[in-house]
Amino acid sequence: MPTHKLLLLPGDGIGPEVMAEVKKLIAWMNARGLGQFETEEGLVGGAAYDVHGVAITEATMAQAMAADAVIFGAVGGPRWNAAPYDARPEAGLLRLRKDLGLFANLRPAICYPALASSSSLKREVVDGLDIVIVRELTGGVYFGEPKTIMDLGNGQKRAIDTQVYDTYEIERIARVGFELARTRRNKLTSMDKRNVMKTGVLWHEVVNQVHAREFKDVELEHQLADAGAMQLVRWPKQFDVIVTDNLFGDVLSDVAAMLTGSLGMLPSASLGEIDAKTKKRRALYEPVHGSAPDIAGKGLANPIAMLASFAMALRYSFAMGREADLVEQAIAAALAAGLRTHDIKSEGTTAVGTTAMGSAVLQELDRLAAG
Ligand code: IPM
Ligand code: MG
């Protein structure tokens, strides 16, 4: 059995609390002989800033480069509002994405039947929902230059962010979307703002070209990103896979999260190019929810998005689809048994904290693995 090297970066806020549940899961898998994982741990975000004055050190970056997968918690919080822009907690995450070349961010939004009533939308709108947002992650306005605030000298300042996309960046993310759609319900919806933005015009054109050249068998549709946001809350089941740019993907995936009942449910995988020689790809797995400083340290956080992110690591980095299925089934079973963290609590269910939810998932895993 191959040994897989993981770098754990718990980060800030609820990050360390939800990461603790992944550590339990890793230990369980190692003990059961279901996998052979070696872990290292590092600081990122505010946690790194407090100790080193930067959001991630060069040494931690080197560890991330050498790892088979990075498992990431969350970064940020009001404590670091005064940190310099380049050392703000989020800079650590953005550097990891950029330097590891993690251009493809997969954000599946699945509404577990047990949670259909936790969503703020009507049950019939979300029950059984299963869609994936494919977000471009290393380009667009997040990284475009110039990115600056300048003094105009007349009492005015000017802030500039640059939205920029090259053909190859759109091609490779479109391919990820089409390929994923092929393994699912074979439909891809591309979202852009070509009615206002040049990047949208190119996005639309290149997605059409990739479709015509390589993926004629996949149904392709286009929506303007604002209309797409509206359709996401009106009737999300019309979608299978959505592909969109970095900023629209950021916003749309928070919307999609609420379709599943809670932001605490959404996992994500950030993937790089497959290396032609080694057939491996760099990857980072993180929950979409962020550091939730309001509930940090209280043992209230929902560990499911973090555990499901680890399941995505099993699937996409280690070809352990069967084990990934098991983890996802164990999560569904713990929910079906009526256990809920406070973010997904509803009448007639049992409120539990982070560690109890993590242990319940492990117990279900024990049961499933034995069966
Ligand atoms: C996300 C987050 C990040 C982003 C922040 C923490 C930089 O919101 O992963 O969705 O904007 O990409
Ligand atoms: Mg976001």
**Annotated catalytic, 168?**
no
Output the pTM of the full model. 0.95
Give the pLDDT confidence score for residue 261 in this predicted structure.
83
Q: Looking at ligand 1, which residue's alpha carbon is closest to its atom 7?
A: 90
Q: Which of 226, 275, 294, 366 is catalytic?
A: 226
C-alpha closest to that of 56 among 67, 46, 44, 65: 44
**What is the model's pLDDT at position 176?**
97
CA of 206 to the centre of ligand 1 (A): 26
The alpha carbon of 62 is separated from its chain's Cα centroid by a whole number of angstroms, namely 22
What does the pLDDT read at residue 115?
87
Query: Is residue 240 flagged as an active site residue?
Result: no
250 lines ligand 1 (CB under 6 A): yes
What is the 28 CA–ligand 1 centroid distance (Å)? 30
User: Ligand 1 pocket, 90 CB below 6 A?
Assistant: yes
Q: Is 306 in the pocket of ligand 1 (CB under 6 A)?
A: no
pLDDT given for residue 8 in this prediction: 98
Tens of pLDDT along 297-352? 999 999 999 999 999 999 999 999 999 999 999 999 999 999 999 999 888 999 99
Q: Which portions of the chain are predicted below pLDDT 50?
A: none
- Nearest ligand (C-alpha, residue 247): 1
Looking at 112, 193, 245, 285, which residue is catalytic? 193
Write down the pLDDT at residue 371. 79
CA angle 326, 330, 335 (to 5 degrees): 150
What local confidence, expressed as pLDDT, does residue 262 receive? 85
Ligand closest to CA 268: 1
- What lies within 8 Å, CB to CB, of 242 at 6+ separation is 131, 132, 133, 134, 177, 188, 189, 190, 191, 228, 252
Q: Whose CA is nearest to atom 11 of ligand 1?
A: 250
Q: What's the pLDDT tens digit per position in 238-266?
A: 999 999 999 999 999 999 988 998 888 99
